[in-house]
Amino acid sequence: MISRVYYALYQLHRHHLGGWSLIRWAILLCALGGGLTWLHLVPGGRTGAFVWWTGGVLLLLAFFWARRSQFVRFHPHPPVEGDADLPTRGKQAARAAGRMSVGNREQWVIADHGNVERFRNGEFAITAFVAPSRYLGLGSTRWEDEGMWYVFIPPQAMEHTTAGIVYINGRAYTGLRVHYRVEGEQRVVYLAFPAEND
């Protein structure tokens, strides 16, 4: 259930209408609804205004909480954390979730399709494909956010990995939580390995 809420918040963040993300529009709607209700321009009175405003605050808090979790849920499995193995060579299909980049741009990504690959020098490359899409019939992805996004992890930047279950939009995947450093900042990316019939 929580992973579905996180995924819906991610979609509201990712899809835009008129230059604003749908999450911004939703929070603005709550603020305006509360103001119009407070001024008795729409029915509901002061109680209705507080309901609108509380909804907006809760939506904002839920968004920041979901973003902090990178819009996915993760449970270590087995419950004791320890290093798990990334692919030793070759390319392996994986859904990726985390902060990814292309050139000098970064964004939060949950990709339906992607790969993790280890090169001979020990560097890992995580690629994710963001396809054009629409959400709720209102918002669509911006063209600059579509396409291939990457995380490159040199051997010296890798900290540790944890095996577990990654929940994306209500579905459970066998996966990994990968901790690494970029310019002194600790980062995490999640890899969800699709089942053979996916």
**Structure confidence by residue, pLDDT tens digits, 97-137:** 999 999 889 999 998 889 999 888 889 999 999 999 999 99
Q: Could you give the dihedral angle defined by the CA atoms of residues 170, 116, 13 and 165, in that order, rounded to the nearest 10 degrees?
A: 30
In a 3-state reduction of DSSP, which class is residue 83?
strand
Q: Where residue 194 falls among pLDDT bands split at 50, 70, 90?
A: confident
Q: What is the pLDDT of residue 196?
A: 60
pLDDT value at residue 83: 54
Name the band, by pLDDT with cuts 50, 70 and 90, for residue 53.
Answer: very high
CB 154 within 8 A of CB 134: no
- CA end-to-end distance (rounded Å), the chain: 21
